[in-house]
Structure 1
C-alpha cells in the first residue's frame, strides 16, 4: 500500500487550502490506484499539529528530537510515501508555517516524492518554485506536473469558495500529477527500505 498525504500548507484563518485539499482528496479518490486499494490518500492539516516556531536544540539532520510535538510530527510524516503539497503564495513565497513544518524533520522526508497544488493571485507558481528547492534539500523528489488556481481564472475560489469548482483541465492535470507522484513514490521505496533495514 502506498500512502499519500495531501498536506495543507497554510494555517491562517480564512485560508482556501482546506477547500482545495478537499477537492484534491475527492478527485484522488477516483484515481485508478486509489480505487483499486493500492494507494491510500489522507489529508494532513498543519493547523491540527500546533507546531511552535522551530524549538529543537539539535539540527533535524541528527534525528535527535527532544520535544513531544516534534516526535508526533515525525510519526505523521514518516508514515507517508509521498505528498501533495497544497500551498498558497504569500509575498512571492510559501507560508512560514509550511517552512517551519519542513524544517522540524529530516529523515522522515527523505527519499519520498511530492506534487504541488498551488493558489494565489498568480496561481502560486513562485511559491512552488521555492518549495521545490527547499524539499530537494530534505531529499524529496518533486514531480513535474503542477495544478494551480489563480484569481484570473478561478476567482470564485477566492470570493465564494463554497460555490467554486475546478475545471476539467485542472482535474486532468491533477490526475497526471497523481500518476507521476505514485510512480515516483513507489520507485523510491527501495531507498527507504535500505534506511529502515
Structure 2
C-alpha cells in the first residue's frame, strides 16, 4: 500500500494570520514522522464564493468553476488535517464555506486538527468534528491544541518568539499522536475502499 497523502489545510486567510507558524511546524513534524506525505493546501489559493449550488455534489454536479477546482484538489488526498484558528468558539467562515463546497471528496477519509485559540481551539475542533461526521469523514481522537498561554508565548504579534520549539513540551507528543492516528486511519480507509 502506498503512503497516504494528507492535505494540511490552512483555514485562515487573514493577512496577519498566525496559521503559517503551526503549518510549517506541523509539516516538518510530519516529514520527520514519515507515516504520511503531507501537502499544504492554503485556502488563500482557493477563493470561492459563498456556497450557492442547488445541492452538494453528492446530489447534483457543482456549477461554480472555483468550487470544482477545489473539489478536484481535495480528491487527490487520502485524509485531511486542518490548521484551525478559533473564531468566537468556532471555525473560520472561510473554512465552513470550503467544507460546504464539497461532499463526495471528503467522505470516508480521516480528519484531524492543529488548533489554536483561547482554550486551545477546542470549541472550534469540536465544531469541525461535528461537520466532519456529517460529511462522512472519520475524525481521529488526537489533536494539537495551542492554548492562550502558549499562543501568546510564540505569537510574534504579541511579542512572542514565532518559534513553536519554545512550547515543544506542550505540543510535541500530541503532534506525534495525531500523525499516528491519521496514518492508521488513512491506511484503514484506503484498504476498505480498495
Superposed pair shares fold, TM > 0.5: yes
Q: Which position in structure 1 is the counterpart of 2:174?
A: 173
1:54 aligns with 2:55: no
Deviation at 1:63, TM superposition (A): 4.5
- Corresponding residue for residue 32 of structure 1: 34
**What SS class does the counterpart of residue 60 from structure 1 fall into?**
coil
User: Which of 112, 119, 123 in structure 1 is aligned with 2:120?
Assistant: 123
In the alignment of these two chains, the number of paired residues is 188
Distance between the aligned counterparts of 2:73 and 2:182, measured in 1? 19
Q: What is residue 21 of structure 1 aligned with on the other side?
A: 23
TM-score normalised by structure 1 residue count = 0.89
SS at match of 2:30: helix
CA contact (8 A) 1:111 1:191 kept: no
Matches within 5 A, 1:1-197: 1=2, 2-33=4-35, 39-158=36-155, 159-160=158-159, 163-165=162-164, 166-193=167-194
In structure 2, the residue matched to 1:36 is none
| Structure 2 runs not aligned, ≥5 long | none
User: Quick one: distance in 2 between partners of 1:41 and 1:142?
Assistant: 17
Q: 1:154: how far off?
A: 3.1
User: 1:120 touches 1:149 (CA, 8 Å); kept in 2?
Assistant: yes
Are the aligned partners of 1:19 and 1:161 in contact in 2 as well (CA < 8 Å)? no
TM-score (norm 2): 0.90
| CA deviation string 1:67-90 (max 9, x = no partner) | 211111011111101111110111
- Give me the whole-angstrom Cα distance separating, in 1, the residues matched to 2:185 and 2:159: 35
**Structure with greater proportional strand content:** 1
SS in 2 for 1:118: strand
**CA pair 59-21 structure 1, distance change in 2 beyond 3 A:** same
Q: Which whole-Å deviations, capped at 9, do the CAs of 1:104-132 have from their partners, x for residues lacking one? A: 11110000001111001111100001110
